[in-house]
Amino acid sequence: MHHGAPCWVDLATTDLRATADFYSGLFGWYFSDTGGGTVALVDGLPVAELVAADQPSAWTLYLNTPHARATAEKAHALGGTVLGEPSDAVTILADPTGAVVGFRHVPADWVFGTDGHGAYAWAELNTRDGQAADEFFGELCGYEITQIGDGSAVDYTIWALHGHTVLGRQRMGRAFAPGTPPHWMVYFTAAPEIGADTTASRVLELGGRVTVEPYDTPFGRITVVADHTGAVFSVIDPSRTTPLSEDEVGSPIDDPYDE
């Protein structure tokens, strides 16, 4: 696994049992307790972790690093902020635009399931300073960065490692409410036989919220939801791709934080 590749996601929660019940009901996750948290499994492969905490927080994305402490030092030198004391294995930091992300050193045999209903699908950074984010992460992780928007009405870049796309970065525009903080959005897969619409309905049944109704994109049908604690994430059915029309190109993207 290359430096900078997504390698894990976790969610801090005040009630492990209730949170496990929510995601089990939504994605069919089942769980294995570890020394520090509760690992979610899909088809026998680990896909996420629930961690006990004093207060719920957003989903946290982790990127692979050969040495977390060295990554923290380099991030600090590049203008990032290291949050808490890093270890050799894990560090949490905020990039210069303010979005929080983790770095984690994982062994060569590390398994992170990315197939199946409820598995990790994608992540993108939403920020108001796209250029600063591109420069920071490009230097920190060595990403190959490509602009796929027009750079003005739509400023969206994709970040690749050795020719393989791993992440996206979107500049937040007028569709995002003033004061919306920079943030990473984590996407989970909706199986084609279930779909994004049914998943959104199930979120409501389980006590969560749908913050952006399901909509079509060239990459799949997407909905943005919040679990019963308010933690926001996206769900994508990649089998439902719809090319954008000429009128839609450059349209603002819905803001999942705009209530």
Instruction: Give a yes or no: residue 255 inside a domain.
Output: no
Residue 114: inside a domain: no
Same structural domain, 17 and 83: yes
Among 104, 132, 155, residue at a domain's last position: 104
| Residues 125 and 193 placed together within one structural domain of the fold | yes
Residue 65 resides in a domain: yes
In a domain, 157, yes or no: yes
Element (H, E) at 140: helix 130-141
Tokens read off for 81: 């902020």
Residue 131 lies inside a defined structural domain of this protein:
yes
Domain region containing 183:
120-237
Q: How many domains does the chain have?
A: 2
Distance CA 54, CA 168 (A): 31
Residues 19 and 83 in one domain: yes
What is the structure's pLDDT at 245?
Answer: 54
pLDDT value for 149: 80
List, in sequence order, every residue forming a beta bridge with 157; answer none if it has no partner. Answer: 147, 169
Q: Can you read off the two tokens belonging to residue 62?
A: 């982790």
Q: Does residue 139 form part of some domain? A: yes
Same domain for 203 and 169: yes
Residue 128 and residue 224 in one domain: yes
Position 247 scores a pLDDT of 46
> In this predicted structure, what is the pLDDT of residue 259?
39
Task: Please check whether residue 111 lies inside any domain of the structure.
Answer: no
- Please indicate, yes or no, whether residues 90 and 167 belong to a single structural domain of this protein: no
| 166: CATH | 3.10.180.10
| Residue 244, pLDDT score | 57
The 156-161 sheet, strands edge to edge: 144-147, 156-161, 164-171, 120-127, 183-189, 232-237, 220-226, 209-217
Answer yes or no: do 126 and 82 share one domain.
Answer: no
pTM, two decimal places: 0.91
Question: 177 and 228, same structural domain?
Answer: yes
Instruction: State both tokens at 71.
Output: 């990554």
Name the nearest CA neighbour of 103 among 87, 118, 125, 114.
87
33 & 58 share domain: yes
Inside any domain, residue 174: yes
Domain match, 129 and 233 both: yes
Q: Provide the pLDDT for residue 175.
A: 79
Query: What is residue 210's predicted lDDT score, i.e. its pLDDT?
Result: 97
Same domain for 224 and 136?
A: yes
If asked whether residues 33 and 138 sit together in one domain, one would say no
What is the chain's pLDDT, residue by residue, as a tens digit (259 residues)? 799 999 999 999 999 999 999 999 999 999 998 766 799 999 999 999 999 999 888 999 999 999 999 999 999 999 999 999 999 999 999 999 999 999 999 999 999 999 999 999 999 999 999 999 999 999 999 999 999 988 888 899 999 999 999 999 999 988 788 888 999 999 999 999 999 999 999 999 999 999 999 999 889 999 999 999 999 999 999 998 877 555 444 444 444 444 3
